[in-house]
Amino acid sequence: MGGALLAVLATGCNTEDFNSPSTDEKDAVIISAGAALSTDVESKTRAANTDWEADDLIGITMLSTSTPATPVYTNRQYKAASAGSGSVQFNPESESQKMYYPIDGSEVTFKSYYPYTGLSDYRTYPVNVSGQSDIARLDLMTAEHKNVDASTANSKNKKDAHLVFHHRLTMVTVNLRTETDSPIDLTDSKLVIKGMKTTGNYNLLTDVLTVDAGSVQDNIIIPLSASYTGRAILLPREAAEGVTFEVTTANGGVYTAKMESGLELKGGSKYTFNLTLKTTPALITASIEDWTEGPTRDYDVVNVIAGTGTNSGFEKDAELKLYTKDQGTTEYSEGGIFTFNGTKWEKSGSPLFWESFTGPKVDFKATSTYAPALNSTQMPDYLVGKTTGVELYNGVHLEMKHVGTKVTVKLNSSDGTYTTTNLQGAIVILPEYLNFGSLNETTGEYTVGTGKGDITPEKQGAATPQDRVAIFPHQTIAAGTTLVKVVINEHVYEVKDASAFAYEQGKHHVISLNIKKSGVDITVSLKDWEKGGDHEAEVKIGTPSGTGTNSNIINGDRLYLFTEVTSGTREAVRGDFTYNGTTWAYSDASNPLFWEELPNTGKIYAQMERAAVNSTAGYNQSKDYIVATPVDNSSGTGSTGTRIDFNMVHAVAQVKVVLRSSDTYTAAQLKTADIYLPGYSYDGSLDKGVYTPGTKTGTIQLDKPDNTEISTRSYLQAQKIPAGNTVARVQIGTRTYNVTYDHAVVYNAGEITHLYITIKGSEVLVSVKVTDWQDQTPVELHYSFNESPTSVTGFKEGDVIKLYDLGNGTTVTDNKNYTVNTVDGKKELISDGTPWFRDDFANGDRIVGVYPSTVSNITTGNTFSWDMNGKSDPTRENDILVAKDGIIANKNANVDLTFNHILSKVTVNIISGTGFAPNEIKNGVSLVQLVGFMQQGTVNISTGVVSDLSTSESLTPTNITPANTNVEVSPGVTKNAELSYHALILPQTKGTNTTLVKVTLNGIEYDAKWTGSFNFEAGKHHILNITLAKTGLKLSAKIAEWVPGANGSITID
């Protein structure tokens, strides 16, 4: 029935299957509810008592009793009519929430849950127990429809429906205890439980909880009462390893206990754990109760020893090798091998007796291999501990420490360039590291090896991508040396630190790498035939600083004084002073402040504060904090007598952002912009005349720039924004612009930093100016999608190129003409109308180009037809070029277009052979033709390929004057041609022994044939050399240097 119910829940009531509900008040549903609960007067949650409170809200769904069940009402809100225990009546929360029984008297049943929430998907109730401050809101209960007479259905003839609620989660009670007269103080202790999953979804129709497998939380904080009792609502779990309790006392002592692996935490059950902390290994008692009394279990709590890092103890069967040095000896000697039996260390062979030492004091050292090497490139995790000066017949405690260093490398790709699968498959290398250390078996000394090699961190963890972990000798990687090398899809990334990076002994280091692909520089080039100049773009930013200071006092400013006799200890002076526009007035006119009340030595501090520009919570704006340079306390006898002169300075910085209108946004649009300063430090404050910077990091929000200047400002604490970080974020409508800078931006106390921002389609121009509370001429900063200098090569002034937008597919969505113009001595492309902007394109979109622009005008699809008839002359107008590689890259406004010839070029040289007088061939040839070449075809601008060839015709190539010279007719032999011709043709292949060229000389026709098939390829220049001799006609062929091609010989019939 559960599956069928899920299938029909969203369809509502079907009158063919179930009669419509009544609207008659006498047919209204009457609900009462009780709880199958036990009593615990100390808790305010229904997780521990049977009392309902007035106005408690439950959610109810009415279902038909047919198969499949049909919902009549879904998630109606009912509330308790009064407080009480046992059965309590529930009424609809409002008239609109009331339910009625079906008119025809059909029976219905009910599903219900507590606490009520407005669910977007009724079936699914999201569960999250990560926060335990209000466990009443965590106590999920669902109801069993069971009437007083044990029936499970109701109708208008039987209105009183009764629901019995059951707990669906697990309750845990933890009691902290100490032994009598124990020195352990539980005051302000903290209790957490580790290793529990915290989130999931509960199906209210099937009563099935699905736990999120990846929601394990290291620290679920359980609040403690004054009697050191903590209660928590947790997700049920099957018996397994991995759950521990941890108690931290106010003095930093940490006590942990593992939950028994065989203990299952069941839904609807209550478990009680009694933790007794002792000065010796503490005893923990624990009991399980199914909300009735149950058995009690005891556990040991291990005090975590400072200095062992994340190691919480040894596993059973771990081995430790002991070394001893008796009084009067200089070297350590072996003391035997000890094995941990789970409780204590036992020595192999005969015991070690105190009587074997002369004393009175003995030094001890121990070594252990905590874990083997993760792989052959790493060293084992060695532990070494030493305790010196142990008096005879006393216990020996060895504090074991890791002698190597540990690093975890985390891989991330924040911009989505690399998938988690890419990152999981990445190769991570720590190149040329010291990778070997050893323990001396005789003395126990640890020594770092001198050999170096590549270390491969091992994949660990359940997340994707997995962390990479390595253990190796401590060392320092020099500044500028490769710290980590990452290889993804054959792309190599080398991570270097500008300063030396120290891997410290016994410490765990984490290196987080955010990996992005490199951008593509923007250039436009035409292969081989011509080359042109470069076009460059300039990017600037400046933060000029002024020298003046603003010392103006505002009417109403309040000044507070502080004295310091002992360095670092300041005391407030009674009262304060208010500026009335002329003088400073003391706050208590009836009881003035006298010098005699003040100390007669030390220094005097002063402070003022002015309101933030916008003090709204969450804006994170600073107040204008003002402090004085401390003055020496002369006790009223100095050069100024009883007057104190303070030099006040602003302790914070100020930023002013000005938006400038452009062809993209009007002033009216800019005034609606939201402006943020992300990742800034904030929350500074004054401490008795001294400004203390805040330690919080977040986003500072500014007011909208809704004024004539289109500006806004804020105070903020002094700080430096590193190069490449976002300086400001501007959001206009649905578009967001992140302003970055290739140098650090410094906000200095007492200075204004101006950010002048001009937003255009593909770029943001930003000006930065710094003054001492005074304006100066701004220095422009340029921001956009990443841009680099452009170049236009191979095109002439006035050439027009047709550009097509293919989006992320292969079909044209838009086109524009761009003309080559010379600006400031450099060529650049200028749109004939409104240009395209980077904002109009998504990452991965493609732009293709066609030259000349007149040969195509595609509005849909991706092809155009081309007819070579009358267009074989190799002029710029007939030479079709296509660029198909203009990919829009992430964060880049530049597109690199490389144009290629899509036609084939042919040159025919006729060379005088044996028996011909000079100029005889030149004067006697009346006609030269290229025979049987296809004239029509279809050009695909997405692939740059010509296809669908048709219409075979002969054509006359264009005569070259003067004829070509130094023509290579055979290896190492050159001659001058009598006649030369050239032509453009469609790419095509001529069959075996096919006539390529027909020459008419003195009325006689000669056919030049190629012995094999001949492929006239796109973008290649094919040269046919024909030698005419009295004894016959010789023909040779080669391909010129567009792209190197094949050579051969031609015979004449």
> Band of the pLDDT at 555, cuts 50, 70, 90?
confident
Between 527 and 99, where is the model more confident?
Answer: 99
- Is residue 121 pLDDT above 60, yes or no? yes
| Position 1008 in a domain | yes
CATH number of 780's domain: 2.60.40.2630
List beta partners, residue 715: 622, 654
Judgement on whether residues 30 and 157 belong to the same structural domain of the protein: yes
The rounded distance, in Å, linking the Cα atoms of 365 and 324 is 6
Q: What is the mean pLDDT of residues 898-902?
A: 89
Distance CA 31, CA 52 (A): 14
* Range among 334-348, 515-529, 900-914, 1039-1053 rated most confident: 900-914
C-alpha to C-alpha distance for 973 and 574, rounded to whole angstroms: 109
Residue 733 Rama label (left phi>0; alpha psi -120 to 50; beta): left
**b/e map 204-238, b = 16+ CB within 10 Å:** bbeeebebeeebebeebbbebeeebbbbbbbbbbe
Q: What pLDDT is recorded for position 297?
A: 27
Q: Which residues contact 302 (CB under 8 A, 6 or more apart)?
A: 255, 256, 257, 281, 312, 313
Q: What is the mean pLDDT of residues 324-341?
A: 86
Checking DSSP bridges between strand 570-572 and strand 30-35, what pairing results, if any? unpaired
DSSP character at residue 777: -
Residue 698 lies in a domain: yes
CA contacts within 13 A on the Cβ side of 262: 1
Give me the pLDDT at residue 638, please: 73
Q: Which domain-ending residue is among 514, 544, 570? A: 514
Ramachandran category for residue 844: left, alpha or beta (phi over 0 → left; psi -120 to 50 → alpha): left
Query: Is the bond into 1044 cis (omega within 30 degrees of 0)?
Result: no
pLDDT tens for each residue of 418-435 = 889 989 999 999 999 999
Collapsed DSSP state (helix, strand, coil) of residue 997: strand
- Helix or strand run (H / E) with residue 5: helix 2-8
∠ CA 330-331-334, nearest 5°, is 145
Average pLDDT on 22-42 reads 58
Clarify whether residues 580 and 636 are in a common domain: yes
pLDDT at 302: 26
Given a cut of 60, is residue 923 above it in pLDDT?
A: yes
Residues 20 and 74 in one domain: yes
Domain's final residue, options 271, 303, 335: 303
What is the domain count for the chain? 8
pLDDT interval class at 1052 (50, 70, 90) = very low
- Is the pLDDT score of 466 beyond 60? yes
For residue 662, is pLDDT > 80?
Answer: no
What pLDDT was estimated at residue 644? Answer: 83
List the structure tokens of 647: 């030099």
As a whole number of angstroms, the distance between CA 775 and CA 781 comes to: 17
Which residue range(s) make up the domain with 127? 2-167
Predicted confidence at residue 891, as pLDDT, reads 67
State whether 771 and 688 are in the same domain. Answer: yes
**Residues counted in the chain:** 1053
Of residues 439 and 947, more confidence is placed in 947
**Within a domain: residue 810?**
yes
Tell me whether residue 503 is in a domain: yes
| 774 has a pLDDT exceeding 70 | no
For residues 226 and 400, the model is more confident at 226
- Out of 303, 337, 365, pick the residue that ends a domain: 303
862: alpha, beta or left? (left if phi > 0; alpha if psi -120 to 50) = alpha
Measure the CA–CA gap between 604 and 632, rounded to whole angstroms: 6
Q: How many helices (H) and strands (E) does the chain have?
A: 4, 84
- Beta bridge partner(s), residue 52: 84
Same domain, residue pair 32 and 108: yes
- How confident is the model over 849-872, as a mean pLDDT? 93
Q: In whole angstroms, give the CA distance from residue 542 to residue 99.
A: 69
More confident: 469 or 51: 469
Site of tokens 């000389």: 1001
Selection from 114, 118, 34 nearest residue 75 by Cα: 118
926 located within any domain:
yes
Residue 17 near residue 108, CB atoms below 8 Å: no
* Least confident span in 42-56, 142-156, 692-706, 1035-1049: 1035-1049
Mean residue pLDDT of the chain comes to 79
Amino acid letter, 418:
Y
User: Would you list the DSSP string of 890-949?
Assistant: TTB----EEEEE-SEEEEEEEEE-TTPPTTHHHHHEEEEEEEEEEEEEEEETTTTEEEEE
pLDDT band at 355 (very low <50, low <70, confident <90, very high): low
Query: For 956-977, what is each residue's pLDDT tens digit?
Result: 999 999 999 998 888 888 889 9
Nearest CA to 407 among 379, 383, 367? 379
17 and 155 in a single domain? The answer is yes
Whether 874 shows a pLDDT value over 50: the answer reads yes
**Residues with Cβ < 8 Å from 278, sequence gap 6 or more?**
178, 179, 182, 184
pLDDT at 127 over 50: yes
Give mean pLDDT, residues 503-521: 73
pLDDT number for residue 761: 58
Say what the pLDDT of residue 6 is. Answer: 25
Q: Which of 35-39, 404-408, 977-981 has the lowest mean pLDDT?
A: 35-39
Position 790 confidence tier, pLDDT thresholds 50, 70, 90: low
From CA 496, how far away is CA 507, in angstroms rounded? 21
* 769/735 same-domain check: yes
Region 216-220 average pLDDT: 86
Helix (H) or strand (E) run with residue 649 in it: strand 648-650
Do 248 and 221 form a contact (C-beta atoms < 8 A)? no
Distance, CA of 280 to CA of 178 (rounded, Å): 11
Least confident piece of the model among 27-31, 156-160, 577-581, 678-682: 27-31
* DSSP strand pairing (752-759 vs 653-660): parallel
Cα–Cα distance measured from residue 207 to residue 210, given in angstroms and rounded to the nearest whole number:
10
Structure tokens, 102: 């079906």
Contacts of 360 (CB under 8 A, 6+ apart): 327, 391, 392
Model pLDDT, residue 772: 30
Give the pLDDT of residue 1039. 36
Q: Which of 133-137, 311-315, 992-996 has the lowest mean pLDDT?
A: 311-315
* Mean pLDDT value of segment 446-472: 93
Are 199 and 179 part of one and the same domain? yes
DSSP 567-614: TT-EEEPSS-EEE-SSSEEES-TTS---GGGS-SSSEEEEEEEE--S-
C-alpha distances in Å from residue 726, one per residue of 196, 729, 862: 38, 7, 40
pLDDT of 278 above 80: no
**What is the structure's pLDDT at 299?**
24
- The encoded tokens of residue 632 equal 């020496």
Q: Which residue has the higher pLDDT, 183 or 381?
A: 381
**Both 926 and 1048 in a single domain?**
yes
Please indicate, yes or no, whether residues 299 and 177 belong to a single structural domain of this protein.
yes
- Model confidence band, residue 393 (pLDDT cutoffs 50, 70, 90): low
Residue closest to 616 by CA, chosen among 713, 703, 707, 704:
703
User: What's the CA gap between 439 and 447, in Å, rounded?
Assistant: 6
Residue 438 exposure: Cα atoms within 13 Å on the Cβ side: 7
Q: Does the structure show a pLDDT above 50 at 198?
A: yes
Which pLDDT belongs to residue 21? 64
CB atoms within 10 A of CB 706: 13
- As a whole number, mean pLDDT of residues 731-750 equals 85
Q: Give the mean pLDDT of 810-816.
A: 92
Query: How far, rounded to the nearest angstrom, does the alpha carbon of residue 435 sit from its chain's CA centroid?
Result: 32
Q: How confident is the model at residue 1048 (pLDDT cuts 50, 70, 90)?
A: very low
The per-residue pLDDT for 701 is 96
pTM above 0.85, yes or no: no
**Mode of pairing for the β-strands spanning 925-940 and 994-1001:** antiparallel
531 lies in some domain: no
Least confident of 608-622, 672-686, 740-754: 740-754
Residues 8 and 147 in one domain: yes
User: Which tokens is 841 given?
Assistant: 């394109």
Q: Which two tokens stand for residue 156?
A: 């208008």
Q: Is the residue at 551 inside a domain? A: no
Which carries the bigger pLDDT value, residue 949 or residue 537? Answer: 949
pLDDT value of position 252: 67
> What is the average pLDDT across 369-375?
90
480 or 1053, higher pLDDT: 480
Highest mean pLDDT among 95-99, 430-434, 654-658, 772-776: 430-434
**Is 646 within a domain?**
yes
Residues 378 and 409 in one domain: no
